[in-house]
C-alpha cells in the first residue's frame, strides 16, 4: 500500500509524506529523505524499492514550509535551479525536527522503534543531522553534500553508512579523505567509494544512474540496516 499521509509537526502544523507499508507489520522502518527535487518520481520509486525489500518507508516533504508538494524534474534546468534555491533556504535544524516527527509517526503506527534513516544528495546530508540526534538505530547517506564540514563537528551519533561516488564534483578528493577518516574513527560507521560513479548514481532513471554500484550500495545498505534494526 502506498499513499500520502499527514504528519503533525512539533509546532502544531501538518505536512505531507509519501508512505509505503511493508507486507509485515513488524518490519523495520525507514525515514527516506528526499533530494532537492521534492517527493518526485525518483523518490517514490526508491520508496517502493525499499518497501519491496521489507521495510515500512516514509518520505517527508522537506520543502513544505517554503513550497509544499513540489515534484521537480532534475533534467529541467529551471526546475533544477529551483531545487537548489529551496535547499539553500531550508532551516536545516528545523527540517531535522520535521524528520523526527516522521520517525515518531512510524514508531506510533507500528509500535516499535526499529527505525533507520536514509537520504540521497541533500537528504544524504540531512540524514547525518538525524543520526546526530540518535533517535534512529542507524543512518545511510548516499552521496551527501557538505558532509566534510558537518561530520567533524559532531559528537556521538547513531551508526552511519556513507556511499561516496568517486567522480562526484560535490565531494572532491580532500573532502572524501575527511569522510573516510571520520568513518574509520567513529564506532559503527562505514564508508565506501564507488569507482567510476558520479553524483546521483543511484537515482532511478537519472542521467548518472549505474546499475552495478547501485545494487552494490543497496545490498550494503540493507545489511547495515538489518544489523541495527534486528528485533
Strands (DSSP E) along the chain, which ranges? 2-8, 14-20, 29-33, 56-60, 115-120, 138-142, 160-165, 190-194
pLDDT for residue 146 is more than 90: yes
pLDDT for residue 6 is more than 80: yes
Q: What cell was used for 214?
A: 547501485
Q: Which helix (H) or strand (E) holds 71?
A: none
The predicted-structure confidence for 36-95, as pLDDT tens digits, reads as follows 999 999 999 999 999 999 999 999 999 999 999 999 999 999 999 999 999 999 999 999
| Set 199, 212, 215, 222: catalytic member | 199
- CATH number of the domain encompassing residue 191: 3.40.50.1820
Distance between CA atoms of residues 99 and 93, nearest Å: 10
Do 223 and 54 form a contact (C-beta atoms < 8 A)?
no
Burial profile 35-62: b = 16 or more Cβ within 10 angstroms, e = fewer:
bbbbbbebbbebbebbbebebbbbbbbb
Q: What cell was used for 137?
A: 538505530
Res 10: pLDDT: 93
The predicted-structure confidence for 16-39, as pLDDT tens digits, reads as follows 999 999 999 999 999 999 999 999
Distance between CA atoms of residues 28 and 90, nearest Å: 29
HSE toward the beta carbon, residue 230, CA cutoff 13 A: 5
Domain span at 163: 2-229
* Residue at grid coordinates 509500535: 111
The predicted-structure confidence for 162-178, as pLDDT tens digits, reads as follows 999 999 999 999 999 99
Distance between CA atoms of residues 157 and 195, nearest Å: 28
Confidence of residue 1 (pLDDT cuts 50, 70, 90): confident
Q: Give the dihedral of Cα atoms 155, 131, 36, 208; nearest 10 deg.
A: 100
Cα–Cα separations (whole angstroms), residue 145 to 25, 31, 228: 34, 18, 24
| Set 61, 98, 168, 198: catalytic member | 168
Domain count, the chain: 1
Res 191: pLDDT: 98
The predicted-structure confidence for 96-145, as pLDDT tens digits, reads as follows 999 999 999 999 999 999 999 999 999 999 999 999 998 999 999 999 99
For this structure, is 61 an active site residue? no
Do 166 and 196 form a contact (C-beta atoms < 8 A)?
yes
For this structure, is 168 an active site residue? yes
The predicted-structure confidence for 177-204, as pLDDT tens digits, reads as follows 999 999 999 999 999 999 999 999 999 9
Distance between CA atoms of residues 228 and 162, nearest Å: 15
Distance between CA atoms of residues 171 and 145, nearest Å: 7
Amino acid at each position: 500500500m502506498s499513499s500520502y499521509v499527514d504528519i503533525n509537526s512539533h509546532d502544531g502544523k501538518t505536512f505531507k509524506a509519501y508512505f509505503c507499508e511493508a507486507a509485515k507489520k513488524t518490519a523495520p522502518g525507514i525515514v527516506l529523505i528526499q533530494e532537492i527535487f521534492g517527493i518526485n518520481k525518483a523518490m517514490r520509486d526508491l520508496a517502493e524499492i525499499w518497501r519491496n525489500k521489507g521495510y515500512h518507508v516514509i518520505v517527508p516533504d522537506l520543502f513544505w514550509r517554503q513550497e509544499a508538494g513540489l515534484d521537480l524534474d532534475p533534467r529541467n534546468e529551471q526546475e533544477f535551479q529551483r531545487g537548489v534555491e529551496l535547499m539553500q533556504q531550508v532551516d536545516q535544524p528545523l527540517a531535522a525536527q520535521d524528520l523526527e516527527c516522521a520517525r515518531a509517526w512510524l514508531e506510533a503506527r507500528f509500535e516499535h522503534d526499529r527505525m533507520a534513516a536514509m537520504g540521497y544528495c541533500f537528504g544524504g546530508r540531512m540524514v547525518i543531522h538525524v543520526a546526530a540526534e540518535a533517535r534512529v538505530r542507524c543512518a545511510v547517506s548516499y552521496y551527501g553534500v557538505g558532509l566534510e564540514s558537518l561530520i567533524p563537528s559532531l559528537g556521538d551519533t547513531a551508526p552511519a553508512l556513507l556511499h561516496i561516488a568517486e567522480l562526484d564534483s560535490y565531494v572532491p578528493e580532500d573532502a572524501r579523505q575527511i569522510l573516510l577518516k571520520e568513518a574509520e574513527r567513529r564506532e559503527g560507521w562505514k564508508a565506501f567509494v564507488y569507482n567510476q560513479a558520479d553524483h546521483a548514481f543511484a537515482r532511478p532513471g537519472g542521467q548518472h544512474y549505474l546499475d552495478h554500484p547501485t545494487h552494490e550500495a543497496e545490498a550494503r545498505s540493507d545489511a547495515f540496516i538489518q544489523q541495527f534494526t534486528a528485533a
